[in-house]
Amino acid sequence: MSTVLKPSQPEADADQELHVRRYKPLIGAVIENVDLSKPLSESNRQALRQALVDHGVIFFREQTLTPAQHVALARIFGNPIRKNIYLPAVTDFPEIEVIAHSDSTRSGGTDNWHVDVSWQHQPPKATVLHAQEIPEGGGGDTIWSSAAAVYDLLDADLARYFEKLSAVNTFIASPKKGALAELLSGYDIPEGSEENSVEAGLARVRDAAQKYPPIEVPVIKTHPENGRKLVFVNEGHTSHLLGVSKTASQNLLNYLYDLVKTPEVQARFEWRQGDVAIWDNRQVQHYAARDYGSARRRIHRITLEHDGAF
Ligand SMILES: [Fe+2]
């Protein structure tokens, strides 16, 4: 008797046997045995979402992705938005911003620790980076610090005290000039162009200051998915604590910033071409090392919209 072949049906995406390997004891995981250019099953997608919530930042080594595949990957975690309208985007993919620093010393040689856009009430949920070009000779690592692990370092009485405090966040708070210098000059606008004039930069800062006045934020927040408490104030965007003296404010903030800089709560990632990193902006702070001089470094970035839960 002959076998009747069924007409081919749209197959459910096959499971990949991916493996989540802890990267550092307190933060980060590397997702192994996965090819992100192939379709991911719903159970794979769920495993990736869970890994991000559990570890704060997840890495995938040496992935070959088209822009469309990068967007599809990002959509597993949320809705892409444009984070910085002054950055160039990939042709036909406005949600993929191109971060191309050809001079890492441009803004004073260092970054500062920050939570992306924590000077707005609804900061982005997460970010999905795909490395296109890595500086020859190394450098340009990104470092993440677990704000939940930082909270866990606090003595119980001190933690309770911080939980009662509020702070003010603003995009012009940075003690380093980098952030403001970038706003003033635009990121990748060629030197000497109209848009790179001091006047154009000042206008951008003036517009942003009007649109985004300083906001009040809690010093300690709770992650909406894993329930962990975390330190939300950050060196890049917090100007001061409310209800305490100026001296107390600066000293208490510096105490928290020192904890954020503790190596035990950090994951430092040395990029290779094709690497993907995804971080949960609600539970980690990050820092981009600007130690590659004038070597080229190019990253594609997709930022995911705040989802209402944080
Ligand atoms: Fe950032």
CATH code at position 271: 3.60.130.10
The tokens for 219 are 């010093």
Domain count, the chain: 1
For residue 50, what are the contacts with CB-CB under 8 A and spacing of at least 6?
Answer: none
71 alpha carbon to ligand 1 midpoint, in Å?
Answer: 19
Whole-number percent of the chain with pLDDT over 70 = 86
Q: Output the CA angle 168-170-175, nearest 5 degrees.
A: 95
Q: Is the pLDDT of residue 283 over 90?
A: yes
The answer to whether residue 103 sits within a structural domain is yes
Return d(Cα 259, Cα 22) in angstroms, integer.
22
115 alpha carbon to ligand 1 midpoint, in Å?
Answer: 6
Taken in order 278, 281, 284, 290, the sign of the CA dihedral is: positive
178 alpha carbon to ligand 1 midpoint, in Å?
Answer: 12
- Which residues are within 5 Å of ligand 1 (an ion), measured at CB? 116
The answer to whether residue 206 sits within a structural domain is no
Top-confidence residue, 97 or 206: 97
Query: Per mean pLDDT, which range of 7-16, 78-87, 205-214 is the poorest?
Result: 7-16
The answer to whether residue 173 sits within a structural domain is no
The answer to whether residue 223 sits within a structural domain is no
* Residue for token pair 């930069």: 201
20 φ/ψ angles, rounded to the nearest 5 degrees: -100, 110
The tokens for 209 are 């200051």
The answer to whether residue 205 sits within a structural domain is no
Residue 85 has what pLDDT?
81
| Interval 98-149: pLDDT, tens | 998 766 665 557 889 999 999 999 999 999 999 999 999 999 999 999 999 9
Question: What's the pLDDT band for 97 if we cut at 50, 70, 90?
Answer: very high
| Residues paired with residue 218 on neighbouring β-strands, in sequence order | 166
pTM to 2 decimals? Answer: 0.90
- Give mean pLDDT, residues 255-275: 98
Whole-number percent of the chain with pLDDT over 90 = 73
Top-confidence residue, 3 or 44: 44
Q: Nearest Cα to 195, choosing from 81, 298, 82, 88?
A: 88
305 alpha carbon to ligand 1 midpoint, in Å?
Answer: 14
The answer to whether residue 228 sits within a structural domain is no
Q: Are 39 and 13 in contact (CB under 8 A)?
A: yes
Give, rounded to a whole angstrom, the gap between the first and last alpha carbons of the chain.
62
List, by residue number, the catalytic residues. 114, 116, 286, 301
CA distances from 110 to 139, 174, 259 (A): 12, 12, 19
7 alpha carbon to ligand 1 midpoint, in Å?
Answer: 50
156 alpha carbon to ligand 1 midpoint, in Å?
Answer: 30
The answer to whether residue 7 sits within a structural domain is yes
The region, left, alpha or beta by phi > 0 then psi within -120 to 50, assigned to residue 143 is beta
Q: Are 292 and 299 in contact (CB under 8 A)?
A: no
Domain hosting residue 120, numbered range: 2-144+263-304
| Interval 164-196: pLDDT, tens | 999 999 988 766 555 566 666 555 555 556 666
Q: Report CA Rg, the chain.
A: 21
SS3 call for 55: helix
| Interval 48-80: pLDDT, tens | 999 999 999 999 999 999 999 999 999 999 999
Q: Nearest Cα to 264, choosing from 37, 28, 77?
A: 28
- Give mean pLDDT, residues 233-259: 97
157 alpha carbon to ligand 1 midpoint, in Å?
Answer: 31
Residue 208 has what pLDDT?
82
Write down the mean pLDDT value for the chain.
89
The answer to whether residue 255 sits within a structural domain is no
